[in-house]
Amino acid sequence: METSNKTAKVWFITGTSRGFGRVWTEAALKRGDKVAATARNLTSVADFKERYGDQVLTLELDVTKKEQIKPALEKAFNHFGKLDIVLNNAGYSLVGTIEEASTDDVRAMYETNVFGPLEVIQAALPLLRKQGFGHILGTSSNLGHISFPVIGYYCSSKWAFESIHESLAAEIAQFGIKVTIIEPGAYATEFGSAESLKFTAGMEVYSDYKSAFIENIRNLERGNPEATPEALFKVVDAENPPLRFHLGIHNLPGVKAAYEERLKTWEEWDTISAAAQG
């Protein structure tokens, strides 16, 4: 699927060294788009430059380093003359129970999963407003709607990520800027690698519970990340893209079940809730 030069889009993508970031960068370049591909280590994305030349601009960017964010966005904007899509993709998961994780562990994860993307959004908005269009995408998860044990803090970062983007969408629609939250289910990416998972200090009382949970996670049916680009392109090419977009077959059943259970509970307690109105 090639994109003509007239309609070629310009992407700014964080976390392009592995996982969805690498898959989507490669696919966008293959279809003829241009990409500002960012990564903490430039050697991890050097092959993009070798293979795609002027189509790609590789930039060093660690989203936890605020001083790198605005210059990277401005360099990309000035280099390509526009930014159609700003895609926040960098992130990792913290593995540990609520009792085990230290506040320092949680704070560090939020720096990457929440505050870093927020800094990218805030730095990108003046550029997108200036050009009068743009599409902000953020990689979330089906865990932006439901929460699992053992990775509860990771889930909480995605709940925060989702609510920020929902508010953002309402606030910036007036400027012609769109927002979409991409919500992958389980996929066979490097998200299970040492670079994408960090483990808290353990407590013996939780060891069996965590082992059983992690084994269940490992046995999940995983999608093929190489099958996702066409779906992503349909979203970014749509005149009216959705605020939330699932990737994979498992998300919708799980989210529907979770909300049905919540509605059932709220309705059962509604008389008592209503009495509290006064």
Given the structure tokens 């660690």, which residue do they identify?
Answer: 62
pLDDT of residue 4: 41
Exposure letters 24-42 (e unless 16+ CB within 10 A, then b): bbbbbbeeebbbbbbbbee
> Looking at the predicted structure, is the pLDDT value of residue 172 above 50?
yes
Q: Which of 93, 140, 156, 157 is catalytic?
A: 140
- List the chain domain ranges: 10-247, 253-278
> Looking at the predicted structure, is the pLDDT value of residue 14 above 80?
yes
Three-state SS sequence of the chain = CCCCCCCCCEEEECCCCCHHHHHHHHHHHHCCCEEEEEECCHHHHHHHHHHHHHHEEEEECCCCCHHHHHHHHHHHHHHHCCCCEEEECCCCEEECCCCCCCHHHHHHHHHHHHHHHHHHHHHHHHHHHHHCCEEEEEECCHHHCCCCCCCHHHHHHHHHHHHHHHHHHHHHHHHCEEEEEEEECCECCHHHCCCCEEECCCCHHHHHHHHHHHHHHHCCCCECHHHCHHHHHHHHHCCCCCCEEEECCCHHHHHHHHHHHHHHHHHHCHHHHHHCCC
Task: Name 138's bridge partners.
Answer: 88, 181
- Amino acid residing at 233: F
Q: What is the percent of the chain with per-residue pLDDT over 90, rounded to a whole number?
A: 82
Band the pLDDT of 3: cuts 50, 70, 90.
very low
Tell me which of 215 and 22 has the higher pLDDT: 22
pLDDT of residue 185: 85
Q: How many residues does the chain have?
A: 278
Cβ pair 76, 12 in contact under 8 A? yes
- Amino acid residing at 189: T
Read off the pTM: 0.92
Q: Does domain 10-247 have CATH number 3.40.50.2000?
A: no
pLDDT of residue 195: 56
**What tens digit of pLDDT does each residue of 223-259 get?**
899 999 999 999 999 999 999 999 999 899 999 999 9
**What tens digit of pLDDT does each residue of 20-68 get?**
999 999 999 999 999 999 999 999 999 999 999 999 999 999 999 999 9
140 in catalytic set = yes
Q: Which of 52, 92, 110, 154 is catalytic?
A: 154
> Looking at the predicted structure, is the pLDDT value of residue 194 above 60?
no
pLDDT of residue 190: 55
Q: Which of 9, 158, 178, 210 is catalytic?
A: 158
Band the pLDDT of 219: cuts 50, 70, 90.
confident
Tell me which of 15 and 193 has the higher pLDDT: 15
pLDDT of residue 201: 86
> Looking at the predicted structure, is the pLDDT value of residue 111 above 80?
yes
- Amino acid residing at 132: G
